[in-house]
Amino acid sequence: MEIGPLQKNKIEELYLFNHQVYPERKRYKEIIDFWFSKNPEEYGLTNILFVDGKIAGQSLHSSMKYYYEGKENDSFWGFDLIIEEEKRKDAYGIDLLQYNMERFDSEFATGSGPLALKIELALGFKQIGELKKYVNFVNPFFLPLTLLRSKKTVLKYPKKLKLSTEVEFERIEQDLLPDFIQPFNPNLLEISREKSFIKWRFYNTLHQYAVYKDVKSDAYFVLRTIVKNHILCMVLVDYRCDLNIPDEYENILRAAKKITRKLRIPILITGSSLKCIDEILEKNHFKVNGRNRPIISTLKFQNKKEDIKNRNFALITLADSDGEILW
Whole-Å CA distances, 102 to 47, 127, 295:
12, 19, 20
What local confidence, expressed as pLDDT, does residue 141 receive? 84
d(CA 297, CA 238): 21
At residue 192, the 3 state secondary structure works out as coil
Q: Is residue 25 scored above 90 in pLDDT?
A: no
- Please check whether residue 28 lies inside any domain of the structure: yes
**Which of residues 70 and 183 earns the better pLDDT score?**
183
CATH of the domain at 71: 3.40.630.30
pLDDT (mean) for 47-72: 96
Decide: helix, strand or coil at residue 235: strand
168 and 315, same structural domain?
yes
Q: How many domains does the chain have?
A: 2
pLDDT confidence of residue 109: 97
pLDDT tens digits for range 78-114: 999 999 988 888 899 999 999 999 999 999 999 999 9
DSSP string of 85-110, one letter each residue: GGGGGGTHHHHHHHHHHHH-S--EEE
Give a yes or no: residue 136 inside a domain: yes
Range 270-296 average pLDDT: 97
What's the one-letter identity of residue 275?
K
Shared domain for 97 and 149, answered yes or no, is no
Domain, as residue range, for 265: 132-326
* 138 and 180 together in one domain: yes
pLDDT of 151 above 70: no
- 11 and 156 fall within a common domain: no
What is the per-residue pLDDT across 168-191, written as a single tens digit (0 to 9) for each?
A: 999 999 999 999 999 999 999 999
| Same domain flag for 136 and 243 | yes
* Contacts with 254 (C-beta within 8 Å, 6 or more apart), sequence order: 163
Whether residue 75 is predicted with pLDDT greater than 80 in this model: the reply is yes
Do 72 and 137 fall into the same domain?
Answer: no
Q: What is the mean pLDDT of residues 13-18?
A: 97
Above 80 in pLDDT, residue 153? no
Q: What's the CA gap between 324 and 244, in Å, rounded?
A: 27
154 shares a domain with 69: no
Residue 121 placed within a domain: no
Where are the extended beta strands (E) located within 172-240? Answer: 189-191, 210-214, 220-228, 231-240
% pLDDT > 70, the chain: 97
Average pLDDT over residues 148-166: 82
pLDDT tens figures, 202-218: 999 999 999 999 999 99
Same domain membership, residue 163 and residue 77? no
Tell me the whole-structure pTM to 2 decimals: 0.95
Regarding whether 95 and 138 lie in a shared domain, the answer is no
In a shared domain, residues 17 and 155 = no
The pLDDT value given to residue 246: 79
Q: What is the pLDDT of residue 205?
A: 93
